Amino acid sequence: MKVELREDLEPDVEFYYDHQFNIYREPYLIWDRETWRSILVTCRVYRIEVNGAYAGDIILDQKGRGTTYIVDFSILPPYQRQGIGGAVLEIMRAKEKRLTAVTRKETLPFFLKSGFALKRRIRNYYDAGVDGFYVVF
């Protein structure tokens, strides 16, 4: 299995907007088109490809002081639990000095297993009663 990251220099809002419905089940995680439009023009967008096929994305934003924030990190369901996410983080860690993210309870174990450290819990980050977890590598 060949995992590659390809920077998307002209990201299509509709493409990313449509794919989120295949990834996220909770409505509070779904961004509207305007949110996608603003993120895609201000951040670096990488398509995750497995054997040449689109498998997800990782979207990054520079936060100063050499810190890169993971805005979105999504793997399509058929590609999940195959080591692809870990491979993507390995590629990113080789490129970036310091990575940070806010993640959900469901994906926190993946980040911790991948070498990130939990820095703090952010109450009601995603929705009422749905906390976020700030992690740093």
Domain ranges of the chain: 3-136
Q: Looking at residue 112, what DSSP letter applies?
A: H
Q: Which fold has domain 3-136?
A: Aminopeptidase (3.40.630)
Answer whether residue 64 shows pLDDT above 90: no
Mean pLDDT score across all residues of the chain: 95
Q: Tell me what percent of the residues of the chain surpass a pLDDT of 70.
A: 100
